[in-house]
Amino acid sequence: MPRTASDLFEGYHVKVYRYFLRTVGSHDVAQDLTQELFLRVVRHVTSCSPDREVAWMFRIARNLVVDYRREHPAPPLPLAEAFGARTEATQIIAFGLSEALRLLTDTDREVFLLREVAGLDYQELAEACDTTPQAVRLRVSRARGRLKALLSRRLSADEDKRRNQDG
């Protein structure tokens, strides 16, 4: 029996919100998009089979982001405050990650966030992004490689700055 929209909200609203927040960079917009997503879910939840509802829901989320981007083509707001990292080490990497995410292509950022934030597997990612699992595998790897490179650059730049301040 398919789950109700309320069940899906309880299970996924935080993940959906974080996906939106990291994509659009604004708390208010992320909440608005989360609301819009679940209102669409409640209208169409019976049309989706239970084993595909996560991919289906994040496909709607992705489409909402695409629509939002079409209407608001300005670059996303700084995301640093979006990452409430708890430890000092992860604060550094989180700040760097928020910056680095902005430098990824839309498709790479989207696939990375859907993988890491929403926890979709490659098959679900392929369904959500209208592509194949092989393409997803390549995109995730490419996004990680790019993030790794950007973060290394960022961390070494921070290190140089600190060294100059000490010196």
Partner 1 sequence: MTPNHAEVLSAFFDGETVEADALATSLQEPDAIEYLLEFARLRRAVHEDASRPTEEFCETMRERLARADRQRQSRRRLAQMSLAASLALAAALGGFTVRGVLEPRQLGPRGGGLTQASRAPDRSSGPSAEPVSSPIVNAPDESTRVRPKRAVPSPVLRLRFTEWHDVVL
* Number of residues counted as binding partner 1 (CB under 8 A): 43
| 46 contacts 2 by C-beta, under 8 angstroms | yes
Smallest separation, CB 167 to partner 1 (Å): 28
Residue 46 φ/ψ, nearest 5 degrees: -75, -15
Nearest Cα residue to 146 out of 112, 121, 118: 112
Q: How many CA atoms lie within 13 A of 4 on its CB side?
A: 3
- Rounded Cα–Cα distance for residues 25 and 98 (Å): 9
19 contributes a contact to partner 1 by CB under 8 A: no
- Rounded Cα–Cα distance for residues 45 and 150 (Å): 40
Sole binder of partner 1 in the list 59, 62, 109, 115 (CB under 8 A): 115
| 13 contacts 38 by C-beta, under 8 angstroms | yes
Task: Fill in the DSSP letter of residue 4.
Answer: P
Segment near partner 1 (CB under 8 A); pick from 54-62, 65-73, 92-100, 159-167:
92-100
Sole binder of partner 1 in the list 66, 141, 161, 166 (CB under 8 A): 141
Nearest CB to partner 1, comparing residues 62 and 120: 120
77 contributes a contact to partner 1 by CB under 8 A: no
Smallest separation, CB 102 to partner 1 (Å): 15
Nearest CB to partner 1, comparing residues 28 and 71: 28
Sole binder of partner 1 in the list 1, 46, 163, 167 (CB under 8 A): 46
- Rounded Cα–Cα distance for residues 6 and 140 (Å): 31
Helix (H, G, I), strand (E, B) or coil at 86: coil
Nearest CB to partner 1, comparing residues 52 and 142: 142
Q: Which chain residues interact with partner 1 by CB under 8 A?
A: 4-6, 9, 13-14, 17-18, 21, 27, 30-31, 34-35, 38-39, 42, 46, 82-87, 90, 93-94, 97, 115-117, 121-122, 137-138, 140-142, 144-145, 147-148, 151
